[in-house]
Structure 1
Amino acid sequence: MSELLWQKPGVEVDPRIQAFLAGDDVLLDREFILDDIVASAAHACGLARIGILSAGEGEAICRELATLSDDFKAGAFVLDERYEDCHSAIESRLVERLGDVGRKVHTGRSRNDQILVATRLWLKRKLGETKALCREVAEVCLQRAEAEALPMPGYTHLQRAVVSSTAMWWAGFAEAFIDDAVRAQQASDWIDANPLGTAAGYGVNLPLDREGSTKELGFARMQVSPIYAQLSRGKFELAAVDALGAAVLDLRRLAWDLSLFTTAEFGFVKLPPQYTTGSSIMPNKRNPDLVELMRATYASIAAARTELEQLLSLPSGYHRDLQFTKGALVHAFGRGLGALALLPNLLRGMQWQPERLAQAFDDGMYATDKAVELAVSGLPFREAYKLAAVEPLPSHGADPQASLEARVSPGGAAVLGLDVLADRLTALSVAHVAP
């Protein structure tokens, strides 16, 4: 490992202690180093604007940072055990290339605001990916709701309940993922504040151009209080994980449906063969492993949320405990976005099995239609309820299509409101959603 940024003369560093202190930082920081490079360039430009760096020094630092970014992307620079973290790696590279000029870059900042700004930039991007994937899922659902409206059983308590349709099923998940996209945008808006220049949490004795760096980094606003910059640690990560978790919860429910619907007992859905796997011992098996792992993904989100929440039992100011927020965050978004990214094509390729859907209806599923029909004729609903329990068939008989056509309440099968959902989706794609 290169010389530590904080190392004091005459103090020997115990390798075992340092390994524990560094933890997985050098690996996790591979996620954040490009954002840290961008923020370092903004900081250098700001130092040049207030005269701490000359124009030439600022330009040299920014030029070397751009080269480092290119080298990292190309694999020519590897963030490994030579460094404590991405922050020390960046400074080490600048010193190596620029000497004393590189040593000036840390003036007026701390590793505390470095990781804060890098994490916020990273989360804005990850929440943007979350929003985009939720929008794509919603688009697929709306397209399929428009294209097919096969009658299918609706369930409560996993028992056959009423007549429903594939279009209603698609519309339900379309609206769910539209809401999830909105939530991802709202979380991003809330996180969209610049902590660069708050240093270790108490500001510095320099007239830093924090408004300038805010604009340069593309943040919507400046995070004003240095103390709040530290108080917000863990809190804004929780908001991001919660937004991701909302989408993955809907993914889990959808995956549960597909897990049931693909069983031989239901047989409602056939998955594309590339989304199933075989058994290592049973030649007859094709297993919905992908769907099951999608269903399991929320466990990683919940674990990350718990870890983040438990780390926040702290007084104000910076505490090293907060280092552990990075692992939870990287793991949650890695798993969550990985699962969401596979969902659109799975939904495009799954096939309903109309004959199995039709076989699943029974007379009892029309009882609610019968009760409402009797109530419309003037009978008190509780009387109608009792009569429908004995004779469940309404005037249209055991006809699932007629039942669907009669469902004229807004959002019901005859008035799905797909145009309303499509308008919400369009508005989401072109408008900024306020927090």
Structure 2
Amino acid sequence: MEKLWQKDKVSLKEVETFTVGKDRELDLLLAPFDVLGSIAHVTMLGSVGLLEDKEVGVLVQKLREIFALVSEPGFVLEEGVEDIHSQVELMLTRMLGDAGKKIHSARSRNDQVLVDVKLFLRAELTKLMAEVREFFDLLQEKSEAYKEYLFPGYTHLQLAMPSSFGLWFGAYAESLVDDAVQLRAAYTVVNKNPLGSAAGYGSSFPINRTMTTQLLGFDDLNYNVVYAQMGRGKVERIVAMALAGVAETLGRLSMDACLYLNQNFDFISFPAELTTGSSIMPHKKNPDVFELIRSHCNRIKALPGEVMMMTTNLPSGYHRDLQLLKEHLFPAFRTLTECLRMAQLMLRNVSIKKDILKDEKYKYLFSVEVVNRLVSEGVPFRDAYRQVGRDIEAGHFGFDGEVRHTHEGSIGNLCNDAIRSMMEQVMHSFPFARVGAAENSLLGESSS
């Protein structure tokens, strides 16, 4: 089948197979967004006189029909069709004849891919934020439920000071706030319109790039057409960094859970159906879910480095190296989403052990409490520190087990409301409603 770029020579089959790679498979993810970009582009072409109004009307109508087709789960590229751009134009040409061939005016596959990728990333970031928010809400719920459950805090994996499960759950909730800030920054970079940059040097047609920006719900343009192309790779790396932030939070939580489930810690437990056993040891309840989350998240944390290395030493302009970025970045969204959902499943069913700190082996956790009490009674800090240290060495240390922490963010004052307010502020800064309305308008749908 003839390619969009084909003239009178046919590529060697081996070259075609190698250069296409996994694009046909990954392009299925881009299919709806390719159609959205084409609807906006066609509408703009009509506004500048490159298409007649009648042509615009019928093209938009058929593109909306194609949108429904490519959004079906069973949709595939036809045999011999190189990519989604070719498939959509082929379907349109079959429906409308020569009018279907006109939609590529004033654009290149380069800016077509760019706008598809940005629309895809925007949609994926939107879905990921919903997952992050749901996990955040669960962590806050657990933080409030278990704020009275004390357990050991560690530094250097050595006993340090009293902590609580309210603090532990709450810490990961607040970590997700910072992750959400990073996701919002990535969304800002993604939500700029590259359409109209063509092959990276613009077009001699009098196109209206501001119009397509508004139609597609972008915040703004990638103004400089050279930078619009240079942004490919940079955008993916920024998004990868945002995913890596969420992965860092999940990975560390998973490591904690593996430790706390260990019999030597024995702080938490899970129903048997959420753990796995051993082929020879009947007593085993292994935290395989958390171990796999940890490993998946470590791979995602490596993703920014992979993207950076794949774009190292590239000059300006488009290069085929950039095609491979999709293979690395696109699957990471599904993996991270699955990890978030599995972590939720586990924590919704976690059991927390009570009265952990009543065990004699944890009594030295309270050494700082005793030092601080002596200081409050007027003893200089260094003298109080030495006195408690001598009592510990002599085996005379004792404490009533009460913890009196009242400052912001401490055991007795978790500040979960303030943390929730920060998350709300980040969530409200996303233009989800406006973007959704723009996309619905392109498809002729109500935004309600």
Partner of 1:347: 347
Residues 161, 368 of structure 2: 8 Å contact kept: yes
Give the alignment of 1:327-338 within 5 angstroms: 327-338=327-338
Between the aligned residues of both structures, percent identity stands at 35
SS of the aligned residue for 2:414 comes to: coil
Equivalent residues in 2 for 1:30-429, closer than 5 Å = 30-75=28-73, 77-79=75-77, 81-148=79-146, 149-312=148-311, 313-356=313-356, 358-359=358-359, 361-391=361-391, 398-400=399-401, 402-403=402-403, 406-429=404-427
**Counterpart secondary structure, 1:154:** strand
Q: Is the 8 Å Cα contact of residues 266 and 356 (structure 1) preserved in structure 2?
A: no
CA apart distance, 1:80: 5.2
Give the CA deviation at 1:358: 4.0
CA distance in 2 between counterparts of 1:287 and 1:102 reads: 58
CA RMSD, Structure 1 to Structure 2 (Å): 2.1
TM-score normalised to structure 1 length: 0.92
- Contiguous gaps of at least 5 residues in structure 1: none
Helix, strand or coil at the partner of 2:104: coil
Distance 1:272 1:69, change over 3 A: farther
Contact 1:26 1:80 in 2 (8 A): no
Query: What is the CA distance between 1:269 and its match in structure 2?
Result: 0.8
Amino acid in the other structure paired with 2:325: T
Q: Secondary structure at the match of 2:162?
A: strand
Deviates more, 1:51-60 or 1:274-283: 274-283
- The Cα shift of 1:275 comes to 2.6
Q: CA deviation at 1:283?
A: 4.2
Count of equivalent residues: 426
Q: Secondary structure at the match of 1:234?
A: helix
Deviation, structure 1 residue 274 = 3.9
Q: Deviations over 1:74-100 (max 9, x none)?
A: 346412553211111111212222221
CA contact (8 A) 1:370 1:392 kept: no
Alpha-carbon separation, structure 2, partners of 1:360 and 1:249: 34
The CA distance in 1 between the partners of 2:201 and 2:11, in whole Å, is: 28
2:445 is matched with none
- The answer to whether the 8 A contact 1:68-1:77 is kept is no
Q: 1:428 to 1:116 in 2, by over 3 A?
A: same
Give deviations 1:124-181, integer Å, cap 9, x for gaps.
1211222222222221111122222211111111111111111111111111112212
User: For 1:391-427, what per-residue CA distance to the aligned partner results, in whole angstroms no more than 9, with x for missing partners?
Assistant: 259xx95333x21xx1123211112212211222333
Instruction: Name the CA distance, whole Å, in 1 between partners of 2:74 and 2:264.
Output: 55
SS, match of residue 398 in structure 1: coil
Q: Which runs of 5+ in 2 are unaligned?
A: 432-448
**What's 1:3 paired with?**
2
**Separation (CA, whole Å) in 2 of partners of 1:182 and 1:302:** 17
Shift of 1:327: 0.8
CA, structure 1 residues 223+425, in 2 after alignment: closer, same or farther (shift >3 Å)? same
Opposite residue 419 of structure 1, the aligned amino acid is D
Note closer, same or farther for the CA distance 1:427–1:274 as it changes in structure 2 (3 Å cut). farther
Contact kept in structure 2, 1:30 and 1:86, CA below 8 Å = yes
Q: 1:361 to 1:427 in 2, by over 3 A?
A: farther
Contact 2:247 2:298 in 1 (8 A): no
Distance 1:337 1:368, change over 3 A: same
Counterpart contact for 2:271–2:349, Cα < 8 Å: yes
Structure 1 range deviating more: 63-72 or 352-361: 352-361
Q: TM-score normalized by structure 2?
A: 0.90
CA contact (8 A) 2:150 2:355 kept: no
AA matched with 1:261: Y
- 1:276, 1:67 → 2: CA distance? 47
